């Protein structure tokens, strides 16, 4: 073990020289990956607009943990090196001192897992899917819905471990579809102050809910929100060239629109709700890495289309931003498209929905209903 520098006055300069940013922030992150595994926590914290101190070096982390702080949240995402006994003891002391700690690791054993309210059983060498047992727990709902964690990579030898809970530990997810005592994978302990993740989060970069964002990243955001125990909302980007499913959920909620979400026949997300008392469907399409680059609003009227063609033509000749027509089912339809690819802001997406609500009212009056 390297010699630890003593003296609090030395720490800020020492960490700065070794590349640990922002000492004095309340979140400390040890993030070290193996091969092509993904560091989800730095991206999650940046996406949530939170300041944090990050290092990939164990010695820097140990000094920050024992000499810096105090830390509101400590995150250990270690998939490369075997942590030394003094570092593991410092993590245990941090938990015993009432701090909030998250940890995933490849070299668990009894003494390492015990402070988390967990019993280590055995390791495994091939990544396993993690099934959610307590689907309504905030770790799987806030601010993101996490349905299943499916591994998408296998980069190193040991990829996780099986656990059982001990006194104070609560298993929320595991390797079996149904809860089983020896299959625990995500355990909350110490009265909600600790989260142990039995796999390696960097191996989970799939998108089971098709919202355009990696499930591992969404879970990392949820971990931060849960352990900090404060409401966290992702900052809105100044311009959107695409929009994720979760952000549409959030926008509709902010507009106080009650909705139901489903999938189209093509597997794209759709939202059903009412505008001005008329059923409307919002469709997302043109998928890209960040989500969807096009939106479409659509509504229909069961009014027989026969004799309505002059009214439809009159609408299309005099109105902008929407079009009316007779659909394949013989119904009168009104729709509007919105393209994000060139870059739009948050207000513009909301205005598109609100304007269609106005168009629905005007079109209903135009039809004489």
**pLDDT for 233:** 64
Give the CATH number of domain 8-228; options: 3.40.50.880, 3.30.1370.60, 3.10.450.50, 2.60.40.650.
3.40.50.880
- DSSP state letters, 98-120: T-EEEEEESS--HHHHGGGTEEE
Q: Report the candidate in 182, 172, 119 with the shortest Cα–Cα distance to residue 149.
A: 172
Question: HSE-up of 308 (CA within 13 Å, CB side)?
Answer: 23
Q: Report the candidate in 366, 259, 353 with the shortest Cα–Cα distance to residue 303.
A: 366
Residue 226, exposed/middle/buried by CB under 10 A (0-12, 13-18, 19+)? buried
Phi-psi region of 313 (alpha: psi -120 to 50; beta: other; left: phi over 0): alpha
* CATH number corresponding to 245-366: 3.30.1460.70
**pLDDT for 132:** 97
- Per-block mean pLDDT, blocks of 10 residues, the chain (369 long): 27 35 66 92 88 95 93 96 96 96 97 97 97 95 91 94 95 97 97 97 89 88 92 71 87 87 87 93 90 94 74 91 90 94 88 94 87
CB atoms within 10 A of CB 113: 24
How do the domains of the chain map onto residue ranges?
A: 8-228, 245-366
pTM, to two decimals:
0.63
19, two tokens: 């590349």
């Amino acid at each position: 073990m390297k010699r630890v520098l003593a003296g609090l006055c030395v720490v800020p300069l020492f960490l700065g020289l070794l590349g640990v940013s922002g000492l004095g922030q309340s979140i400390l992150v040890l993030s070290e990956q193996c091969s092509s595994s993904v560091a989800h926590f730095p991206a999650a914290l940046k996406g949530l607009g939170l300041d944090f101190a990050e290092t990939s070096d164990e010695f820097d982390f140990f000094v920050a943990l024992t000499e810096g702080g105090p830390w509101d949240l400590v995150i250990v995402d270690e998939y490369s090196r075997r942590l030394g006994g003094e570092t593991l003891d410092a993590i245990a002391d941090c938990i015993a001192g009432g701090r909030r700690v998250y940890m995933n690791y490849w070299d668990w054993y009894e003494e390492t897992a015990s402070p988390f309210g967990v019993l280590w059983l055995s390791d495994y060498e091939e990544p396993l899917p993690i099934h959610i047992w307590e689907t309504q727990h905030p770790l799987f709902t806030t601010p993101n819905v996490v349905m299943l964690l499916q591994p998408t990579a296998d980069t190193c030898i040991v990829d996780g471990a099986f656990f059982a809970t001990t006194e104070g530990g609560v298993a929320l997810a595991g390797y079996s579809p149904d809860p089983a005592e020896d299959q625990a994978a995500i355990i909350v302990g110490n009265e909600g102050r600790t989260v142990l993740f039995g796999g390696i989060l960097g191996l989970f970069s799939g998108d089971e809910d098709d919202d355009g964002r990696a499930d591992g990243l969404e879970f990392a955001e949820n971990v931060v929100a849960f352990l900090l125990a404060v409401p966290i909302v992702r900052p809105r980007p100044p311009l959107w060239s695409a929009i994720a499913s979760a952000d549409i959920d959030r926008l509709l909620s902010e507009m106080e629109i009650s909705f139901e979400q489903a999938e189209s026949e093509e597997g794209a997300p759709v939202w059903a709700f009412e505008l001005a008392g008329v059923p409307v469907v919002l469709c997302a399409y043109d998928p890209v890495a960040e989500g969807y680059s096009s939106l479409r609003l659509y509504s229909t009227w069961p009014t027989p289309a026969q004799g309505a063609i002059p009214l439809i033509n009159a609408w299309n000749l005099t109105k902008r931003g929407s079009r009316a027509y007779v659909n394949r089912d013989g119904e009168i339809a009104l729709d509007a498209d919105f393209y994000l690819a060139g870059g739009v802001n948050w207000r513009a997406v909301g205005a598109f929905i609100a304007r269609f609500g106005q168009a629905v009212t005007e079109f209903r009056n135009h039809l004489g209903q």
